[in-house]
Amino acid sequence: MKKYINEDLIKILISIILFIVSLFIEAAEVNLALLAISYAIISTGIYINAYHHVKKKIFFDENLLMIIATLCAFAIGSNEEAVMVMLLFHIGEYLSDLAVNNSKKSITKLMDLRVEKANKLINGEIVEVDIKKVEEDDLLLVKPGEKIPLDGIVIEGESHLDTSSLTGESKPRKVSINDKVISGCINKDNILTIKATSTYKTSTASKIIDIIEKSSSKKAETEKFITKFSKVYTPIIVVCAILLVVIPTLLGQEFNTWLYRALVFLVTSCPCALVISIPLAYFCGIGKASREGILIKGSKELENLENLDYIIFDKTGTITEGVFEVTEIYTVDIKENKLLQIAASAEEYSLHPIATAIKEKNESKLLPVEKYKEISGKGISCEVDGKKVLIGNEQLLKDNKVMTLPVSENSSIVHIAIDKEYAGYIVISDKVKKSSSHIIKLLKYINKDLVILSGDIESTVKKVAKKVGINNYFASLLPEDKVNKVKEYKKEGKVLFVGDGVNDAPVLKISDIGVSMGQVGSDAAIEASDMVIMKDDLSKIETAIKIAAYTKKKVKQTMTFALLIKFVILILGAYGISTIWMAVFADVGVTFLCILNVLTIMWKKF
């Protein structure tokens, strides 16, 4: 990029020097020769672009408009104006490209999370290896100042991590043995030894960069409109310019006068301001969100964020902390520690937070498990130490014709049956996040209807809903029930759904905006979602909505300003008041001002 900028700048400077020298040359032939050379130097790239576009059957664009306008200016003897129009157009394009590329470069640098090499521990020795050759369970050494190369678990050392590029959080995060770390964070203090839990392709850093790189492919409706508009608009402008010359000339008016006005019309009408600045606005919005620890997968999703009608939350791990603990064990003809041992063994392969709580509570050796089967939204069926075990919600046991005891707890209940005989239940408690009530109030303030969908029992969901101030909630839902509920809400308006578990993936997929919590979210949920919150913080939803609203505001400002200026110059041009100089400002000047306007999205504090 640097080389390109220098070459372009040299062309501009040489062209300016030749143009200025020509102004002091009285000899017509020398004057024309200097202007022609100046024009050739500055316009070569534009002619090449126009040629390539014509080869692709793109016959009308701003390059062709400028070529037609300047050649016609030469034809009527306005040589200086012809060169100056092309020169100003090129300077404007150069400055616009510089602004755009700098903004993209800053975002790319911000998201430069991946590393090429990793320090792998092999038989106690440190060997530098290609990051792509590191596998899961490999031991990696991370020195102070280095990025965490892959997701992993700390097995030795204690340090602080800079997670700002991932979460937008400026405060360093302390990690020690058994803590999870994600790729892209910077190790600040001490040497850490981590065991890799991902590969290069499956690491958090790779997923984030992939989302950012693909964001431009999912265009907003406004972007699509501008693209279609420019394809139709430009040919119409060329036809109108031709008619602006032909009709007055046939009516006896002076040809050169109306040709000049047509040139003003052509230059003024270039759609550069909209074609360049509107996509840039959405890119800046996505880039700003990434700085805040919010990954938005495309400008379409960014635009939808501003037009929401419903925000629907999963409960566990979203509104609540998702950190469970066993608070009570009730047994029938079996000892507590034995029931807990069987339950923990049955849950051995599950990653659900409730399963984790049961396994952490168990102090006995796990028993062998066979014929393991996870039943979506209900629980697990398996054989533990040769005994048929059912563990899950009340519906699972009812489906297998096992009677359960009535429970009035306002917590999650895990029922257990052994050889089709009811063995008891385990009470699991979860805490509401401290930030939940606050963010719910803020989201209500911006006039969004809020709903909770949960697979938990009604008493538990009701308690959580009341605590955070949400009136609408639905409990005891299977994954397909959540999908159906979201479909019902989608008939009434645009829906944003926030979840984090594997069971949420289908709902995230069908929502207008699916949001997953990145640090606690499953791979399936992150893959299915449109927006990923890297920090476990619901307030980021409000931040994302504000960024979307500000981006839309800038898009509207840009469109209004550009069209208004062009309209005024066109009207003045029809009466012979506008000059080509004014037309160049209406094109290049307005484009540059529009770009500066949308770049304020990156500077705005939310």
Catalytic residues: 314
Four-residue CA torsion sign, 172, 177, 179, 181: positive
Four-residue CA torsion sign, 301, 306, 312, 314: positive
> Smallest Cα–Cα separation from 289: which of 602, 63, 517, 17?
602
DSSP state, residue 190: S
CB-based contact 223:299 (threshold 8 Å): yes
Say which residues have a Cβ less than 8 Å from residue 473's Cβ, sequence separation at least 6. Answer: 451, 452, 453, 454, 461, 462, 465
128 conformational bin, left if phi > 0, alpha if psi -120 to 50, beta if neither: beta
CB-based contact 456:476 (threshold 8 Å): yes
- The percent of the chain in helix, strand and coil, each rounded to the nearest 5, is 55, 20, 30
How many other C-beta atoms are found inside a 10 Å radius of the C-beta of residue 597? 18
Tell me the C-alpha distance between 79 and 76, whole Å: 8
Tell me the C-alpha distance between 134 and 117, whole Å: 9
Tell me the C-alpha distance between 136 and 148, whole Å: 14
User: What's the token pair of residue 117?
Assistant: 């090499």
Tell me the C-alpha distance between 4 and 262, whole Å: 34
Q: Indicate the residue type of 425.
A: Y
Can you tell me whether residue 388 is helix, strand or coil? strand
Please give the distance of CA 582 from its chain centroid, rounded to a whole number: 39
User: What's the token pair of residue 474?
Assistant: 């639905």
> Smallest Cα–Cα separation from 304: which of 71, 551, 85?
551
Tell me the C-alpha distance between 71 and 457, whole Å: 76
Tell me the C-alpha distance between 493 and 554, whole Å: 24
Tell me the C-alpha distance between 322 and 434, whole Å: 13
How many other C-beta atoms are found inside a 10 Å radius of the C-beta of residue 223? 22
Tell me the C-alpha distance between 284 and 261, whole Å: 37
